[in-house]
Amino acid sequence: MLERTLRKARTEVTFILPADNPSGPVSVVGDFNGWQPGVHTLKARKDGKRAVTVELPSEGTHSFRYLAAGDYWFNDESARDQDGPNSRVHT
């Protein structure tokens, strides 16, 4: 699931997943972090889900995927758009 918070010149996008599906560590990787795993790792929240917030330029489109343990890549089903094998988020 994706949540967006508009700021002056940026948009905060929060990437949210269930606490244990998939199990183990999960990072969001995309064009905004050079597709580098571990830069934006989802952390446990009080509501029992995992999340990470990334600041992105407003009025843009960004490709991303999730990477879980065991080299398991997957998309965000709540993203409305795809770019080939990647999910896309519009800010």
CA distance between the termini of the chain: 15
- 83: pLDDT strictly greater than 90: no
Tokens found for residue 56: 């992105």
Domain definitions of the chain by residue range: 2-16+25-90
5 in Cβ contact with 58 (< 8 Å): no
**Band of residue 79 on the pLDDT scale cut at 50, 70, 90:** confident
> How many beta carbons lie within 10 A of that of residue 86, not counting itself?
19
Number of alpha helices (DSSP H) and beta strands (DSSP E) in the chain: 0, 9
- Measured distance CA(71)–CA(88) in Å, rounded: 20
Residue with tokens 């969001």: 28
* Residues belonging to the chain: 91
Class of domain 2-16+25-90: mainly beta
Q: Could you read off the pLDDT of 37-71 as tens digits, one per residue?
A: 999 999 999 999 999 999 999 888 999 999 999 89
- Quote the pTM value: 0.91
